Amino acid sequence: GQQLNQSPQSMFIQEGEDVSMNCTSSSIFNTWLWYKQDPGEGPVLLIALYKAGELTSNGRLTAQFGITRKDSFLNISASIPSDVGIYFCAGLRDFGNEKLTFGTGTRLTIIP
C-alpha cells in the first residue's frame, strides 16, 4: 500500500530554534497536507498544498510540495512552546478519491 515516511521521527529543540521536517513517498500524491496533533486531540490542519513546487506559508510555518509530487517539507521558524506536538503529513492520491494517507509522524519536543 501507499506509505508516507516522515523524518525525523522525533526532534528535541530549544525554544526559538527553527525546525525542519519532511515527508517522502514512493507514490505520487496530488495533494499534500500538514497536520498537527496535540495529545488526546484530533489533527488540526496547518497547510494544504495542491500544486507541484508550490510553497505556502501560514505564519511561522512554511511548507513546500515537491516537484516530483513524492515529497514535502514543513519548516517552523522561531519555535515556541505551543509548537510541541506530533506533526503528520497526509497525501491525497486522486481527486474524487478522498482517502487521506497519513505519514508516520514527527514528534516535536521543546527543551526548556
Which residues of this protein are in contact with other proteins, per CB under 8 A?
Answer: 31, 33, 35, 37, 40-45, 48, 50, 88, 90, 92, 95-105
Q: How far is the CB of 92 from other proteins (least distance, A)?
A: 7
112 to 18, 20, 25, 89, 95: CA distances (angstroms): 15, 19, 34, 26, 43
Distance CA 62, CA 55 (A): 7
Closer to other proteins by Cβ: residue 73 or 87: 87
Distance CA 29, CA 33 (A): 10
Closer to other proteins by Cβ: residue 6 or 79: 6
Q: How far is the CB of 110 from other proteins (least distance, A)?
A: 20
Closer to other proteins by Cβ: residue 16 or 27: 27
Three-state DSSP at 81 gives helix
